[in-house]
Amino acid sequence: MASLDTNTQARLLQVRDRIARAAQAAGRCPDEITLVAVSKTFDAGRVVEAIAAGQTRFGENYVQEACGKIAELTRFVSRETVQWHFIGPIQSNKTRELAENFDWIQSIDRLKPAQRLSRQRPAVRADLDVLLQVNISGEASKRGATPAELPALAAEVAALPRLRLRGLMAIPEPQPDPQRQRASFARMRRLFEELRDQLRQQLAGGGLNFDTLSMGMSADLEAAIAEGSTMVRIGTAIFGERT
C-alpha cells in the first residue's frame, strides 16, 4: 500500500503541475481549473490513496460500481469529504441511485432523465449540480445533445427544481494534433459563452450559476485549458492504465 500511495501522490502532483503550467501559458490562474480524478474501474483503496494525497473530487461512469465504492468509502472518510461526479451515460432505471448518491451529473443530454433526477433528488441533499453533455464532434457513437438542441434543453433543465444547471461537458473526438484538439475545444467555449448569455437574458434574476465548462482529459488537458476549460477529468494520468 505504501508504494501505491507514493505513486498516486506523485501522479497527482504531476497532473497538478501540468494544469498549473497550462493555465499560466494561457494567462489564467490555476485556481480557475477544477480537477476531477476519474476513478472508474479502480477500487476504493485507490480512491483512499488519492484522498490521502489531497484529491477530493472523483468521477465515475458505472452506477453499480460507483454506488458500491461510495458506500465502502464511508468506512474511511466522511461523506462530506468527497464530491462525486457521474460522467457516464444515464439509464432511466438508474436515475434514483444517481440522484441519491452523486453531487454532480455531467452527462445530461435529454430532458427526461433530468426530470427524473429532479423528482428523485432527496430532500435532505443539496440541489444536484448538473452539466449538459454536448456531442461537439458529431460522432454517431457518442452521446450528447447537438449544438442546435442546446438552447431549448438548457432552458428546460434550468427550470427544474432540485437541479442547478452549471454548464456544459464534452468529450471531443481524439486528435493527436494539438491544433485540432484546440479547434474542438474552441467550438465548445463559444457554445458555452453564447448559451450563458442567452440564459442570463431569459432567466434574469433567476439565480443562474452557469460557470462550468468540463472538457479535457489526460491526453489533451493543455489544449482544453488553453481554450477555457474550468474542469478537467483525468483518469489514466492519475491512476494508470486500466486493465
Mean pLDDT, residues 45-54 taken together: 93
Determine what percent of the chain is predicted with pLDDT higher than 90. 80
Q: What's the Rg (C-alpha) of the chain?
A: 17
* Cell numbers given for 36: 476531477
Dihedrals φ, ψ of 70, to 5°? Answer: -60, -45
Q: Residue ranges of the alpha helices (H) in 121-215?
A: 150-158, 178-202
Which residues does residue 132 pair with via DSSP β-bridges, in sequence order? 108, 168
Q: 94-121 burial string, b = 16+ CB within 10 Å, else e?
A: bbbbbbebbbbbbbbbbeebbebbbeeb
Q: Directed axis angle between helix 150-158 and helix 178-202, to 10°?
A: 50
* Cell numbers given for 5: 500511495
Q: Please name the helix (run of DSSP H) or strand (run of DSSP E) that holds residue 138, with its range, or none.
A: none
Q: Round to whole Å and give the CA distance between 215 and 231.
A: 6
Comparing 3-7, 69-73, 164-168, the range with the smallest average pLDDT is 3-7
Q: Please name the helix (run of DSSP H) or strand (run of DSSP E) that holds residue 126, with its range, or none.
A: none
Q: At residue 17, what is the residue type?
A: D
* Cell numbers given for 218: 489526460
More confident residue, 132 or 81: 132
Distance of CA 226 to the CA centre of its chain: 18
Q: Within 13 Å of residue 108, how many CA atoms lie on the same side as its CB?
A: 31
* Cell numbers given for 47: 480512491
Q: Round to whole Å and give the CA distance between 188 and 153.
A: 16
In the chain, DSSP assigns E strands to 34-38, 57-60, 83-86, 104-108, 128-134, 163-170, 212-214, 231-234
pLDDT, tens digit, for every residue of 192-238? 999 999 998 887 656 689 999 999 999 999 999 999 999 999 999 99
Q: Which domains does the chain have, with CATH numbers?
A: 2-237 (3.20.20.10)
Q: At residue 222, what is the residue type?
A: E
Question: For residue 211, with 0-12 CB atoms within 10 Å meaning exposed, 13-18 middle and 19 or more buried, which class applies?
Answer: exposed
pLDDT, tens digit, for every residue of 54-96? 999 999 999 999 999 999 998 888 888 899 999 999 999 999 9
